Amino acid sequence: MDNFDRNDLTRLLNVPSRPCVTIYMPTHTVGLQGQQDPIRLKNLLTEAEQQLGGHWMRPAEAREMLEPVRALLTDSMFWNEADQGLAVFLAPDMCVYYRLPCAFEERLAVGDQFRIRPLLPALNHEGEYYVLALSQNKVVFYAGDAQQLRAVDVPELPAGMQTALNYDGADRGMQVHSGSWGATGKQGAVFHGQGGVSDSVKDDLRSFFRLVSSAVSKRLGTGRQPLILACVDYLAPLYREVNSYPALLPQIVEGNPDYLDANQLFQRVRPLAAQHFDRQRQQSLETFRQRNGGKTASSRVEEIVAAAQQGRVDTLLVDQTADVWGQFQAAEGTVTVHAAAEPDDVELLDVSVLETLRHRGTVYPVPADQSPAQGPVAALFRY
């Protein structure tokens, strides 16, 4: 599997040259279908060459542009590492591909922009989120998406409680350290002293957590991405008392994260992130139903495309498979919808997605039977 994140998306949104060739196809790891995958890709490349050579460039230039992908047809290692789907993006001086756990429908598009809607499940199934792995001995901050966690350097983030509070070994009345990871997946706190956690230890933990929270908030600002806490359960309420980041989720990954590597922690975080983003999508659907007919919601393609270009779309709910063709004059902000594709038309739903993401809006793929509108797209406006 290859990684696909917001940085990759930004690269696709800001492609510097035209034409853009987009290929999606399902892939298989074993069996007869897997053996036929290179043939499917070859056929799609042949069709792409015909479209490029017939309208965009000379036939020889089209063949040269597609050559990097043709080289994959006989690359056995490439196909041995296939996942459920393959996405290919080609432009002059650009060739990138992603093997992803998404069962794409076979699709080819040649035009002024890359087609990115089929990628939305890979990008938005869990969206972007952060994880704070917290113990008294160690603090690690991660950025996460649907595929992995990546440790991120955060200026001023304390390495641990002892160094943060400049302990010199003095007795605080009761010392607490981490126990080993149990069979249940929960770490046990080992207490030295009587009567549970003393007030002095709680005060030290709060002081430590204030430093952690301050560093995290400086790193995240007032962003909307959720932050998930991974720690033993008795630390969570103390951290929440001093937390200053507004999007800290109420659920935690219980246990001592010191005993988990990034992949093991990702497996525990992933269900929480998926549940959060599914709730957000459902809330957006309900919010649209409440606002529909007012000034801050619309299901009209013409209005949505223009609003997305202006940065007004906060949330876009879009059908992954439907196409709406027409003309979009960005300078004038005018949109014309056609009943069927005409020469030099653009696919307007993709334009709405591109512009919404470009202006840091949120896009949710919504199946046609779950759409809150009588059409393939709905939007909530910022103003």
- CATH of residue 315: 3.30.1330.30
Residues 88 and 59 in one domain: yes
3-state secondary structure of 192: strand
Q: Is 120 a member of any domain?
A: no
Report the pLDDT averaged over residues 318-333: 89
Q: Is 373 a member of any domain?
A: yes
Residues 110 and 169 in one domain: no
Residues 142 and 28 in one domain: no
- Residue that terminates a domain, selected from 87, 115, 143: 115
Q: Structural domain of residue 223, as residue ranges?
A: 129-276
Confidence of residue 34 (pLDDT cuts 50, 70, 90): low
Which pLDDT belongs to residue 31?
Answer: 66
More confident of the two residues 138 and 10: 138
**Is the pLDDT reported for residue 15 higher than 50?**
yes
User: What pTM did the predictor assign?
Assistant: 0.68
Confidence of residue 167 (pLDDT cuts 50, 70, 90): low
Gap between the Cα atoms of 122 and 324, Å rounded: 23
Q: Is 1 a member of any domain?
A: no
Domains identified in the chain, total number: 3
**Is the pLDDT reported for residue 125 higher than 80?**
no
The CATH number of residue 40's host domain is 3.30.960.10
Report the pLDDT averaged over residues 147-164: 90
> Strand 107-111 to strand 94-100: parallel, antiparallel, or no bridges (unpaired)?
unpaired
**Is the pLDDT reported for residue 118 higher than 70?**
yes
Residues 88 and 215 in one domain: no
Report the pLDDT averaged over residues 311-316: 96
User: Do 267 and 360 meet the contact criterion of CB atoms below 8 Å apart?
Assistant: no
User: Do 127 and 121 meet the contact criterion of CB atoms below 8 Å apart?
Assistant: no
Residues 134 and 186 in one domain: yes
Report the pLDDT averaged over residues 255-272: 94
More confident of the two residues 315 and 191: 315
Q: Is 72 a member of any domain?
A: yes
pLDDT tens digit sequence for 187-199: 444 433 334 567 8
CA dist 339 → 86, 97, 320, 324, 350 (Å): 30, 32, 19, 8, 16
Which pLDDT belongs to residue 314?
Answer: 95
More confident of the two residues 194 and 148: 148
Q: Is 122 a member of any domain?
A: no
Report the pLDDT averaged over residues 118-139: 83
Gap between the Cα atoms of 232 and 374, Å rounded: 47
Name the percent of the chain lying above pLDDT 90.
61
Helix runs in 149-298, H state only: 161-164, 199-220, 236-242, 262-291
Residues 99 and 141 in one domain: no
**Is the pLDDT reported for residue 176 higher than 60?**
no
Residues 153 and 192 in one domain: yes
Residues 155 and 90 in one domain: no
3-state secondary structure of 141: strand
pLDDT tens digit sequence for 352-365: 998 998 898 989 98
Confidence of residue 1 (pLDDT cuts 50, 70, 90): low
User: Do 17 and 91 meet the contact criterion of CB atoms below 8 Å apart?
Assistant: yes
> Strand 325-329 to strand 346-347: parallel, antiparallel, or no bridges (unpaired)?
antiparallel
- Residue that terminates a domain, selected from 276, 300, 317: 276
Q: Is 365 a member of any domain?
A: yes
Q: Is 124 a member of any domain?
A: no
More confident of the two residues 197 and 112: 112
Q: Is 284 a member of any domain?
A: no
Which residues have C-beta within 8 Å of that of residue 73, sequence separation ≥ 6?
38, 41, 42
Residues 341 and 297 in one domain: yes
Report the pLDDT averaged over residues 312-325: 93
Residues 95 and 161 in one domain: no
Residues 30 and 72 in one domain: yes
**Is the pLDDT reported for residue 177 higher than 60?**
no
- Residue that terminates a domain, selected from 276, 309, 336: 276
Residues 78 and 148 in one domain: no
Tokens read off for 73 = 């047809």
pLDDT tens digit sequence for 37-50: 999 999 999 999 99
